[in-house]
């Protein structure tokens, strides 16, 4: 059975669970760098928003293919979503919302979202 990790924003309004990923992604694109996020992408990892999907504010720019979601109350970036059609939807969860004891056991991969769109490690 796959271990499930639970995370939440600071105030607890938005919660999620996710299967323990092999790694998290630290992206250096202009927005991920500013948000200081560590992403796990769903799919391939299984994850879901449990509560608070109606408690987020969304931000999108450029080609508007990704919406970054932040808790309306505490402001934490919890996830992003993309794709308008249900069969093409993707999301990534910000694993900085996990407890440090869970997060510290997951390796970090560095992704060059600012330039080459390749992993740097």
28 vs 36: CA distance, rounded Å: 9
Give the pLDDT confidence score for residue 64 in this predicted structure.
87
Give the pLDDT confidence score for residue 86 in this predicted structure.
65
Structural contact between residues 24 and 39, judged by C-beta atoms closer than 8 angstroms: yes
Fold of 4-111: 2.170.150
| Rounded mean pLDDT, 92-101 | 98
Ranking 8-12, 17-21, 83-87 by mean pLDDT, the lowest is 83-87
Domain range summary for the chain, segments of one domain joined by +: 4-111
pTM recorded for the entire structure: 0.93
| Rounded mean pLDDT, 20-42 | 97
Give the pLDDT confidence score for residue 51 in this predicted structure.
97
Measured from the Cβ of residue 107, the count of other Cβ atoms closer than 10 Å reads 9
Structural contact between residues 19 and 47, judged by C-beta atoms closer than 8 angstroms: yes
What is the pLDDT of the chain when averaged over all its residues? 94
* Omega within 30 of 0 (cis) for the link into 49: no
Give the pLDDT confidence score for residue 76 in this predicted structure.
98
In percent, how much of the chain has pLDDT > 70? 97
Q: What is the pLDDT of residues 52-82, one digit of tens each?
A: 999 999 999 888 889 999 999 999 999 999 9
């Amino acid at each position: 059975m796959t271990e499930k990790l639970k995370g939440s924003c600071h105030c607890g309004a938005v919660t999620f669970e996710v299967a323990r990923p092999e790694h998290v992604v630290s992206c250096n694109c202009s927005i991920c760098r500013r948000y200081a996020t560590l992403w796990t992408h769903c799919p391939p990892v299984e994850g879901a928003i449990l509560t608070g999907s109606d408690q987020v504010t969304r931000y999108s720019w450029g080609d508007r293919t990704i919406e970054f979601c932040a808790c309306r109350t505490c402001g934490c970036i919890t996830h992003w979503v993309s794709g308008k059609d249900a069969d093409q939807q993707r999301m990534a969860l910000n694993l900085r919302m996990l407890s440090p004891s869970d997060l510290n056991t997951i390796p970090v991969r560095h992704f060059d979202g600012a330039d080459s769109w390749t992993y740097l490690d």
